[in-house]
Amino acid sequence: MATYGEKLLAELEDAKATLLKLTHVDYEPTQIRDVLSTVGAKFEIFLKSVALPGRNPRNTFEWFIDELENAPIDQPFRDKLHALRRKYNDAKHNPAIVIPLLDAIQIVEDARTAIDEITKKGVGSVAAVVSPHMQRVFWIAVWDHYIGGDSEVHVILPGESEHWLGPPTFDIIYVSMSGWDLVAASLPLVGTFKSGKGLIPDAQYGAFKSDSDFLGAWVFEGDYRSLITTLAQHELRQELIPGLNRHENSGSMILAFLLASVDVVGGVAVPKDLASEIIKQVTSVYAVPLDFRHSQYLADNLSEMFQKIPHAEWARISGPVWMRESGYGHFAPTSRAKHPKYDIVIDQDYVVRMLWSHK
C-alpha cells in the first residue's frame, strides 16, 4: 500500500498527465484552473494534516510552506511550493484569470519535485501507509444559528436506525456561517462532495429538514482526516449552552484523540512521550481546546494501548477503521492490543479498528 507521500506524488503525476493531454487539443481556461485548484487543495491538506500535523490548521497556506524551513526543506523547494500556492489562489479566487497551460505544467512538475523532497526526508507522517479502508462515505448535515452566527455541522456515518433522528452523529463541529461556504467550496477538492438529496434516504432527509434552522445535507466520500482538517480550519469557538459545545461531546473527543494518536504514533522516538504528542496533535489539528479537562486521561489510555505493541513496530500502525459489530467481532479476539476502556483494537495487520454501532 502507498504512503501519504507516495499518494500525493501519484496525484501530481496524474495532474501533470491531464495538463499534457491538453497540449494536443483545444481547451478551456477553466480546465487548467480546475487542475490547479484540486492540486493546491490536496497539497494544503497534506501539509496541515500529514507533513506538519502539530501546527495550528488555522494558520495560512503561506505560513505552512514557510514552516517547512524547520523540516528542513531548503528555500528553492519552498519557492516551488509558493509558486503553486499563488496559482492555486489565483484559480480559486479569480474565475476570470487565464493561466497559460505551459506555465501550469511547469508549476505542477516543480511542486512534484519539492514534495518528493519532503517525502524523501520523511517529514511528519508522510511515510505512514494510507489504508484503502480509510476512504468512506459520510453524511454531513448543517444547521444555521442566526443569533450566534454559526453553522452546526454534524458528521454522520450512513446507516439504518430505529431512532427518529436516524444514525447517531459521528462528530460535530461549529464553524462561522461564512466559514461553511469556504468548507463547502474546499471539500470537492479533497474528496467527492455531493448534495444529499437522492443519496440520503428521503425519510432521513425529511427528519433533518423538519428543523427550521436546517441549511442542508450533503454526502462526502474520502479520507476522514481531510474532512475534519478542512472543518477545523474554520472552527468557531464560542461559549454555547452547557452540553452543546463540541468538547462536551464525548464521542467527538474520543474520535479526535484516536485520529491524533494514529497520526503521531509512527514518529515518536521515545515511547513515554506518546501521550504528550497526542495532546499536541489533537489541539493543533483536530480543534480540541487547549484547556480540555480530559485530555490527559484520553491520551494516557490510548498510549497504554499502543505500548502493548513493540516500539520498533509503531511505524506500521495505520487506520483508524470504523466497523459494525459483525466485522469488529471478527478482529477483536485476535487483536495485538486493545484499548483499556473503549471498543478499539489494533489488529494483526497493525490497523486500528473501532466499533461503531447503530442503535
**pLDDT above 80 (res 57):** no
Q: How confident is the model at residue 240 (pLDDT cuts 50, 70, 90)?
A: very low
- Amino acid occupying residue 15: A
348 or 223, greater pLDDT: 348
Count of CA atoms in the C-beta half-sphere (13 A) of 28: 5
322 has which bridge partners?
354
Sheet of 318-323, strands arranged across: 318-323, 351-355, 344-346, 337-338
| CA distances from residue 131 to 149, 170, 334 in whole angstroms, order as listed | 38, 20, 20
pLDDT category, 3, cuts 50, 70, 90? Answer: confident
- Most confident option among 117-126, 178-187, 333-342: 333-342
Distance CA 208, CA 214 (A): 7
For the chain, give every residue range classified as CATH 1.20.120.
4-120
Tell me, what's the pLDDT at 171? 80
How does DSSP assign 141-171, residue by residue? Answer: EEEEETTTTEEEEEEE-----SSTT-SPEEE
Q: What is the mean pLDDT of residues 58-67?
A: 93
Cα 259 from Cα 270, distance rounded (Å): 20
> How many residues are there in the chain?
359
- Domain 4-120, CATH among 3.30.1490, 1.10.1060, 1.10.10, 1.20.120: 1.20.120
Q: What is the pLDDT of residues 265-310, one digit of tens each?
A: 988 999 999 999 999 888 866 768 888 999 999 999 999 999 999 9
Q: What is the mean pLDDT of residues 330-346?
A: 95
Dihedral sign computed on CA atoms, order 85, 90, 91, 93: positive
In sequence order, what are the residues at sequence separation of 6 or more whose Cβ sits closer than 8 angstroms to the Cβ of residue 131?
1, 318, 319, 321, 351
Q: Phi and psi for 86 in degrees, rounded to 5?
A: -65, -45
Does residue 247 have a pLDDT over 90? no
pTM: 0.67
The C-alpha R_g of the chain, in whole angstroms, comes to 21
